[in-house]
Amino acid sequence: MEIINRMTGGGFEQLVFCQDRETGLKAIVAIHDTTLGPALGGTRMWPYGSEEEAIVDVMRLARGMTYKAAVAGLSLGGGKAVIIGSPADKTETLLRAYGRFVDTLKGRYITAEDVGTCQWDMDVIHRETQHVTGCDPARGGGGDPSPFTARGVYNGIKAAVKKRYGTDSLNGLTVAVQGLGNVGYHLCRLLAGECARLVVTDINPKVLQKAAREFGAEAVATDGIYDSHCHVFAPCALGAVVNDETIEKFRCAIIAGAANNVLAEERHGDALRKRGILYVPDYVINAGGLINVADELYGYQRQRVDQRVAQIYNTVLDVLTVSEKEGIPTHRAADRLAEQRIKQAKMYKNSGQREVPMVG
């Protein structure tokens, strides 16, 4: 695997490998772009099948964070980290060793929770470094970002429904939610509150039973979710769910969910457009969690977070409007908006400005 060439081709600044023999820590930090500010992105803990698989994932996720921060109007760059291993094997000493590695980056990378990590983990990491967000609210942190991610996805779904159907009411619409983790379950609660009909799937049968009881959701097999007849398909588990095998299965009008890297490849976004399926780019719609943890850097204010998460509705409409006017797929329209902001930031820096202004 030609790592340096991959970094150069993708515009990456840094790829840092960390290991600690005593705790068994094996971690990778990817810093994609810090034009807008320090790289902020969560730490994912996952039992990757190989180091190459972990490298590919962390780089894809880090690039997505650059674009997510840019479109959300934050003065932050993009980064991500992965710890190779099962979340069941987490220990306090491993997390503290990881925190010490994060601290060596001196603020170029700021971490937060992600798949396989939680607020408690961030509190432990915080014992070794100040460069961490998503910590206990009692310590001035923003806490669990999942509800804010879910709220942003909910707002984005309403915007997409508005664009497709002329009204943003979800009453009577069917939404298929893939993955009932923290974000997916919060999203179901919001959708059910607006009388949407829910079709759900998850690898955990207990959470499916809970969703059926609480929301009247219809549970289907994990593979059956793709060809469920619905208005909106909301992927809220792992990424790459729009791929060669699934692309022809979808029976929905809109794809909009919380998962990162929903498209296995960019060409799958083109394929969705050809099929007439309105795709809301993942890093646009799922920015609520990032907005929440990023606010800690300015002195956490819940009201300010709520206002910025609500703005995701208008941001999604902006992306869909650019796509429609210019006749380009939605993922390319979103990339264009992000790249324009990064280009503007470089112009600010070249003109001697000390800091790029926040948007919104």
Residues marked active site are found at: 80
Give CB contacts under 8 A, 24+ apart, made by 117-126.
117/42, 117/43, 117/44, 117/45, 117/83, 117/87, 117/90, 118/144, 119/143, 119/144, 121/43, 121/90, 121/95, 124/92, 124/95, 124/96, 124/99, 125/43, 125/95, 125/96, 125/98, 125/99, 126/99
Q: Report the Cα 8 to chain-centroid distance in Å.
A: 24
How far apart CA 86 and CA 102 sit, in angstroms, is: 20
Name the burial class of residue 118, with classes exposed (0-12), middle (13-18) and buried (19+) by CB atoms within 10 angstroms of its CB.
Answer: middle
